[in-house]
Chain A
Amino acid sequence: MALVETVPPPAAVIVEKPVGKTPWERVKPFVLAMIVPALLLAFWQVATTRRWTRLIPTPYEVGEYMIDFAVGGIYDDAFSATLLTHLMASMSRVYGGFALAALFALPLGLMIGRIPTARMVLDPFLQVMRPIPVTAWLPLSMILFGLGPRSAFALVCLGAFYPILLNTIFGVRSVDPKLFEAASMLGCQGNAQFYKVVLPAALPSIFTGLRLGLGLAWFVIVVGEMTGVPQGLGAVIMDGRTLSRTELVICGMIIIGIAGYVSDRIVVMIGNRLLAWSPTHHG
């Protein structure tokens, strides 16, 4: 009996979806995703035009302000056409703080995951430190790193640190023990197993940690920029708050949301590329 003839077609081939989707199927995800934002926008419109509140501007006002914030030409105040400057300032802190967090959390996580002594020394301490919110660190951070960007950087870094660390530890610890046996049996032993088995096996989990970490970096950027930095989306929101300019606050919120979303999609795309082998890892 020839083996080749008994081979069923692989799942990879079957998975290929038939081409030629109907136009509705193509736009359906987009339409469905727009329902909740549209309802929210409608409610906002009704609430502000009916004067349920006088403190929140109408969607139109915010939209208009957003354009002024982005390119100027409508109000021409201190914030006109400064969006890009603030966005870049925040992005540099988010990605910088995230990179620094990854730089510490990855090796530390690999160590805690692999070396029992390191785990016993560091794990209890880190578990106690973890529940302390970034907001609580704000005063200490300003004392340690001074008022300004360094403090913001440190706080963002702290926010991104724990998800990366914990997921790395989890990934390293949950490698299927059978894979170590298999590697040993095939002649890959000792430290070589770290690179050949532990790292690749932990990669999906490490990747989840990085993704969560980057998300949290965006999440804490406003707190990070409460430290008296002149530029950044968080700083803009804080300024908007002190100046009672709610439209500025809402613009800042929307931009952080979109920037965080875009940055997450990019990470997911990279992940789908790198982790094509993992059946459970498609976001």
Chain B
Amino acid sequence: MWGSPIKGPDPTRGMVFQDYALFPWLSVRDNIGFGPASRGLARSVVKETVDKFIDLVGLAKFANAYPHQLSGGMKQRVAIARVLANDAEIVLMDEPFGALDAMTRERLQDELLDIWQRTGLTVVFVTHSIEEAIFLADRVVVMTPGPGRIESDNPLLLSRPRDVASIEFNDIRRVMSAKLHSHHGKKAA
């Protein structure tokens, strides 16, 4: 990554899991502070970092709530804030919306775009949904199934906010579908 090989888990690559994998025994505040605290930063520095990112994702009011008290969207925001607070430069999201109903998924997509626009974060997003890829991504990488190789790399120049019902959107969707025609596979954005 950025010229250096990847050797193992590293705080600069944050991961947002499908079910967020928040620590259920920690409050929102302590979940976000987990990384900085693990690195042995001073308590005041941890607090400052947590305050900054808790505000960024709009959860200041829920700082002391536990994960089971939060909605799916709020959990996602905690998961993102958690990796941001740990100095992540790139966030990997592996089908984070895979298990959700369509309504919730749309709301979370909007929230993700909102955070992405405010932070300028790089997100690698794995999805099986062509529509999701086109709605979110600047760049869509189509993967072949097992072994996962890159089938094609497609920059998306569609302006934002994107409308899934627009003609342009559907043109792109048609092209992408064709690329997936022979191999049914994943797309990364």
Give every chain A residue within 8 A of B24 (Cβ-Cβ). 201, 277-278
| Cβ contact of A3, chosen from B13, B25, B57, B86, cutoff 8 A | B57
Docked complex: B105-145 residues within 8 A CB-CB of A: 107, 110-111, 114-115
Q: Does A187 contact B (CB under 8 A)?
A: yes
Chain A proximity of B55: nearest CB distance (Å): 10
- When C-beta atoms are compared, the residue in chain A nearest to B11 turns out to be A187
Docked complex: B1-57 residues within 8 A CB-CB of A: 9, 11, 13-15, 17, 19, 21-27, 34-35, 38-39, 57
B15 A277 Cβ-Cβ under 8 A: no
B38 A188 Cβ-Cβ under 8 A: yes
Chain B proximity of A61: nearest CB distance (Å): 52
A181 B15 Cβ-Cβ under 8 A: yes
Q: Does A46 contact B (CB under 8 A)?
A: no
B25 A279 Cβ-Cβ under 8 A: no
Give every chain B residue within 8 A of A260 (Cβ-Cβ). none
| Cβ contact of A196, chosen from B11, B15, B38, cutoff 8 A | B38
A7 B38 Cβ-Cβ under 8 A: no
A200 B62 Cβ-Cβ under 8 A: no
1/0 contact string of A136-180 vs chain B (CB within 8 Å): 000000000000000000000000000000000000000010110
Q: Does B180 contact A (CB under 8 A)?
A: no
Chain B proximity of A152: nearest CB distance (Å): 37
How many angstroms between the C-alpha atoms of A128 and B26 in the bound complex?
38
Give every chain B residue within 8 A of A8 (Cβ-Cβ). 71
Give every chain A residue within 8 A of B98 (Cβ-Cβ). none
A181 B21 Cβ-Cβ under 8 A: yes
Q: Does A38 contact B (CB under 8 A)?
A: no
Give every chain B residue within 8 A of A12 (Cβ-Cβ). 65, 69
B9 A185 Cβ-Cβ under 8 A: yes
- When C-beta atoms are compared, the residue in chain B nearest to A279 turns out to be B68
Q: Does B82 contact A (CB under 8 A)?
A: yes
B69 A187 Cβ-Cβ under 8 A: no
B23 A185 Cβ-Cβ under 8 A: no
Q: Does B83 contact A (CB under 8 A)?
A: yes
Known: A1-B110, A186-B11, A279-B68. A181 touches B17 (CB 8 A): yes
Q: Does A100 contact B (CB under 8 A)?
A: no
Docked complex: A244-283 residues within 8 A CB-CB of B: 276-279
How many angstroms between the C-alpha atoms of A210 and B78 in the bound complex?
33
Give every chain A residue within 8 A of B67 (Cβ-Cβ). 277
Chain A proximity of B31: nearest CB distance (Å): 9
A277 B25 Cβ-Cβ under 8 A: yes
Chain A proximity of B20: nearest CB distance (Å): 9
Q: Does B160 contact A (CB under 8 A)?
A: no
Known: A179-B23, A197-B23, A277-B24. A185 touches B111 (CB 8 A): no
| Cβ contact of A178, chosen from B9, B14, B19, B86, cutoff 8 A | B19
Chain B proximity of A179: nearest CB distance (Å): 6
How many angstroms between the C-alpha atoms of A153 and B65 in the bound complex?
43
Q: What 13 new A-B contacts, CB under 8 Å, besides A6-B107, A189-B9, A196-B38? A: A7-B61, A7-B62, A10-B70, A11-B68, A178-B19, A181-B15, A181-B21, A182-B17, A183-B34, A185-B13, A188-B38, A200-B25, A278-B25
Can you report 12 residue pairs joining A to B where beta carbons are below 8 Å apart? A4-B58, A7-B58, A179-B23, A182-B23, A183-B34, A186-B38, A186-B82, A187-B86, A277-B25, A277-B26, A277-B27, A277-B68
